[in-house]
Chains A and B, each alone.
Chain A
Amino acid sequence: MLSEVSDQEITEPEADRGDAFLAAALRGEATTLKRASWLAAVGESIWPVQAYVLASAIGAMVGGADTTQDLWTPALVFAALALVRTVLGAAASRLAFLGAERVKSRLRQRLVERLGQWSPLDGHKPDSGEAAALFGESIEALDPYLVRYGPARLRATIEPLFVLALVLSQSWAAALILLFTGPLIPVFMALIGSRARAASEAQMVEILSINRYLADRLSGLADIKLLGAVDTAGAQFSSQAMGVKRATMAVLRVAFLSSAVLELFAAVGVALVAVYVGFSLLGMLHFGTYSAPLTFQTGLFVLMLSPEFYAPLRGFAAAYHDRASATAAAGALERAFGSDFVAIPTDPDRSAAADDAATGVQIRNLGFRHTTELPRVLDGFDLEIAPGEWVALTGPSGVGKTTLLSLIAGLGAPEEGEIAFPSPSKDRPATARPRIAWLPQHPFFFRGTIRQNLTLGRGGITDAEIGSALELAQAARLVASLPRGLSTMLGEGGTGVSGGEAQRLAIARAALAKAGLVIADEPTAHLDPATAEAVRGGLARLAAGRTLIVATHDPVLAAAMAREVVMTATGKARP
């Protein structure tokens, strides 16, 4: 969107953290990007040299040197310099692009690793929508900054000085004009910038961006239609959008003043130089040079150079917005990469092989809390489960059943105590995952066919095996009733599945994995009696000969287990 219309105001400490993150993310590519900046700055600084060549050529012409023959040398020099400038510019753009791409790729790689390792039990973990935004918009928002900001800043630092030095070598008066107009620009821009921030704070309170209003209305459009309220909602949207527009324009009216100041000083500076040079040449002014009076050639050169004194500042002002949005994006990334994340326990040395021999579970003195601010959900919890035993975890919601299941599955690390799998081989949660089948309360289906969702992309599973897994889960008829059977697309843009269908497909998915321990979280919640019965049947067939731990409120399911463990608020179990 419009660079000036950034709808996120960022606070100072957040901006600092974003800056620090950006600096760290750049490490490794800093040299490349710096090199790109220097190439660009040197390339741009060729123009003053070209201007000198042009001014000399024209000066000679006006001075009366007669033949056009004289022009070929400066013309060739000018053309050669143009070529060098083009090549330098291209090289700078290429280097900056490659450096920025490597920074972005590395961030995405780190983000994939971080999100993969981030325990779902950690309350600070970004949700899927935030993750999509981090991978997409946030990292892409760094791009204009990486590519443009460095060169623009370097150019704004060195080119005005270079131009000033060149002008000073010819005429101290012209240099003085530049010197007095130039440094005032940042001062005034900063003043107006703070006014603009104040205006945006006054205007933007409680105002969402137009896009967010639109997304809000569109996602609930079915309701609006059913209420016969399309016209009313449309009028509401229009007035909200026009409100945002008015507020934005109020901010822009102030914000644009800062660029107007830049233009004003640039115009005044150039005009003063032109007038000074003109009057000197007319012989009406006799100061400003060192010995001889100002020549035409010098005057023309000084005049051609003076806009170049201001141009880099203009470029820098434009790039400054890139920095603001990059800092905001970096702030979001910094939070994701921060140190306060809880990792899923892993053991790189050793991992159990997939095996469906029934697994025993031993839990000793288990304690856990989701974030440091919250009290423990589990405290001093003990439980022993024999291989092949079926156990129901019951108790009021919020008592920590899902947390316990997640800890057994190794999706988080206990704060205290330990979980062990003494048989068939000694394992800990970090190594036992291959022998665990996981049935969450809301099974997740990826964008892909039912076949891909059931095999999770593992090769070597035949349709016949899938068919018997579906039979076991009582989902064969369900899949057969879909237009493309196993090839039906699920997930985003595909068919949706109801709660009961999802549970049965998840049972089929678990049946395809070799696992000696089945963990199921509320498999029959929110299901009607008949569907719940089908799910219970599927679960029983799946867990035959295996260990089963199920958290449930369903008395029928709990009664089907060999043992019921009632969890209470203190985290102690009552067998």
Chain B
Amino acid sequence: MRHLVRLLRLAFERAPLAFVLGLLVSLATALAGIALLGVAGWFITASALAGIAGAGLMFEFFRPSASIRGLAVLRTFGRYGERLITHETTLSFIVGIRERLFYSFARADFGKLARLRSGEMLARLTSDADNLDGLYLRGLLPAFTAVVGLAAIALSLMYVSPLIALGFVGVLALAVLVAVLLVLRAAPRDARLATLALESLRLRAIDLVRGQAELLLAGRLEAHSKTVLDADRRRHLSANRLNLIEIAGNAASLLGAQASILIALLLGASALHQGKIDAPGVVVFVLVAIGASELTAPLVAAALGTGRTLLAARRIAPRLSEPSLIAADPVEFGQPAAEPGMPILQISGLSGRSGQAVDLAVRDFSLAVAARERVALVGPSGSGKSTLLGLIAGTQVVEGGMVLLGGITVSGMPDRVLREQMVLLPQKSAVFAGSVSDNLRLAQPRATDTELWAALETAQLAEFIRTLPDGLEHKLQEGGKGLSGGQRRRLALARAVLRRPPVLLMDEPTEGMQEELGLAVLSAVFAALPETAIVFATHRKSEERLANRVIDLAPAGDVTSDRGAITIPI
């Protein structure tokens, strides 16, 4: 519940006016509909009595018929306005939730970010976010309209007859309250189980496709297919219980509504008999009771939806804190700067491991790199090249030793200062949906088009971009779909070059390119960043030759063990 309140506060803050207006307009529209029924009923009953009394021609019909017209118009335009305003609120809420998710994950550690690359984690995250989206529109809105609407009906009919007003509204409210509480109590557990079963169904389907050949040849395809259908069976069992809960809730709600109509009729008749109210009054009560049941009709569905929302809210609530810009982080840090003659990057006794491995992948590693130096890291896969670059850049946990940047220790350096000084091009680099220039300006928001073209030239990508009809404004699909692997890599390199960092770390920068092209790209990057200290991992002999120092991380013997590094002076 705490989570739900927080989410609703978020919806309010995103669009306070639309949030409140949506509630009020929706309430007014609902009440206009009920009033329309009530007034119409009163009008024809009073007309009938006047007609019977022969006073038809003297009956003042102007005001009731004008109210009927007015309420009809109010209801029509109210419905239109209500839908627009509440969808405006909901869309703002949707954007707000996703902005918060973005900024919150931006502060997560790199280990967690690597897991975000998996499609399933993203699918789960977005489906959770989707389940939150209906909270205002399908949760708060009907609940508010029902509660305030019923109170308004009770209050406005109190002066006619408190007994009847409280009687029929009370019965309706009680029945619906019981139905909603029943659903809220029973549904969340099964909503959670059904969601989890569906997620496991998806994962097993993925395994079925990706592991098909292995499963088939090992004779295990049928066994695995059964596990896929088992997940569906578990989903079915939960869905079945949810259906029974829904039926019980709807039955309670419907019977309550019908009972309240009967109560209005019986109490009204008895009051009429006692002369406390007139006949048109009875008709008003009965018709308003009929209208009131429309207020409460969507509540069982809303309670069922809340079950799903609760699970989603619990799962992503920690990710929904106030978004804050990295630029707003306090900086009480001197700018690191290399003193002339001093190495800009100093690494001493660095140790760390890759993932959850028991053994250290990098042990007691030391190195000093000066500006303008180009250092190649070589060694077999598993020798710790990527881990070493990750330790230097702070994407892996440093377990011993330290990294100094311009004489200042990197640990505890605010992110915005560190990333200003040092850029790491990881082994797998991402390209985003949006234009080519959007992608490049991530690195340098104020770069001119000329600067963008220069960076593309360096990455040997300018020629290709020029062939695109929209050039720099060409829209790339998600994940840079439509570009080849090598083109994506070169776009990422152009981005890194645009940063012009004092220290540039690159993990196999020419992956996915032909050897010749790779060499040309790498030489151009070196030429474009003459002052930068560059450390890059490579497994190509030709690229080693571009470096002025080569560090071999090759361990001897067992490929998973590791030894200290050997520096080969050139």
Contacts and interface: CB of A to CB of B under 8 A. Distances in A.
B57 A284 contact: yes
Interface in B256-282: 258-259, 261-262, 265-266, 269-270, 272-273, 279, 282
Interface in B409-426: 415-416, 418-420, 423-426
A275 B560 contact: no
Query: What is the size category of the interface that chain B forms with chain A?
Result: 35 or more
Interface stretch (A82-90, A322-330, A371-379): A82-90
B551 to A, nearest CB: 15
Contacts of A267: 36, 72-73, 75-76
A530 interface: yes
Nearest to B98: A214
A320 interface: no
Contacts of B90: 2
A58 B282 CA distance: 8
B251 A86 contact: yes
Contacts of A464: none
A274 B36 CA distance: 10
Contacts of B382: 498, 500-501, 528, 531
Nearest to A62: B279
B350 interface: no
B57 A79 contact: no
A136 interface: yes
A2 to B, nearest CB: 7
B419 A227 contact: yes
Given A89-B254, A282-B47, A256 B84 contact: yes
Contacts of A202: none
A339 interface: no
B565 interface: no
Contact of B282 (A61, A85, A281, A282): A61
Contact of A131 (B65, B205, B261, B283): B205
A553 interface: no
A491 B204 CA distance: 12
Interface string A41-68: 0000000000000100110011000111
B113 interface: yes
A462 interface: no
A496 interface: yes
Interface string A524-539: 0001111100100000
A65 to B, nearest CB: 10
B265 A57 contact: yes
B499 A58 contact: no
A90 B258 CA distance: 15
A354 B218 CA distance: 9
B483 interface: no
Interface string A227-249: 11111111011101110010011
Given A135-B202, A219-B122, A89 B419 contact: no
Contacts of A433: 216-217, 219
A457 B224 CA distance: 9
B208 A131 contact: yes
A477 B558 contact: yes
B463 interface: no
Nearest to B43: A278
B225 A219 contact: no
A456 interface: yes
Interface string A282-324: 1110000000000010011001100100000000000000000
Interface stretch (A27-35, A257-265, A561-569): A257-265
Question: Max chain B CB contacts within 10 Å: which of A90, A226, A296?
Answer: A226
Interface string B21-64: 00000000000000011001101110111111000110101001
The residue among B207, B223, B225 with the most chain A CB atoms within 10 A of its own CB is B207
B106 A230 contact: yes
A219 to B, nearest CB: 5
Contacts of A344: 216
A221 B106 contact: yes
Contact of A528 (B120, B222, B539): B539
A237 to B, nearest CB: 6
Given A67-B273, A93-B246, A221-B113, A256 B80 contact: yes
Contacts, number: 444
A212 B433 contact: yes
A79 B559 contact: no
A298 to B, nearest CB: 10
Contacts of B126: 211, 214-215
Given A260-B76, A434-B219, A477-B558, A218 B43 contact: no
A458 B133 CA distance: 44
B220 to A, nearest CB: 5
A61 B206 contact: no
B167 interface: no
Nearest to B501: A228
Contacts of B225: 112-113, 116
B262 A411 contact: no
B44 A274 contact: yes
Contacts of A82: 254-255, 258-259
Interface stretch (B3-11, B336-344, B356-364): B356-364
Given A267-B76, A530-B380, A224 B358 contact: no
B288 to A, nearest CB: 12
Interface stretch (B148-156, B321-329, B527-535): B321-329
Interface string B270-305: 101100000100110011001000000000000000
A528 B381 contact: yes
A468 B239 CA distance: 46
B48 A62 contact: yes
Contacts of B48: 62, 281, 296, 299
Given A120-B213, A234-B325, A135 B395 contact: no
Given A62-B45, A279-B47, A495-B356, A456 B380 contact: no
B95 A238 contact: yes
B239 to A, nearest CB: 7
A97 B246 CA distance: 11
A206 B433 CA distance: 11
Given A105-B236, A216-B432, A228-B415, A237 B99 contact: yes
Contact of A303 (B41, B77, B98, B108): B41
Given A222-B426, A409-B217, 18 more contacts: A68-B266, A75-B262, A86-B255, A112-B228, A126-B209, A131-B208, A218-B105, A218-B116, A223-B426, A227-B496, A229-B442, A229-B443, A234-B103, A245-B91, A278-B43, A411-B216, A433-B216, A482-B358
10 contacts: A58-B283, A105-B232, A136-B202, A140-B198, A208-B433, A208-B478, A210-B98, A260-B76, A260-B79, A409-B217
User: 8 tightest A-B contacts by CB?
Assistant: A220-B430, A228-B419, A528-B380, A267-B72, A296-B48, A82-B258, A274-B40, A282-B56
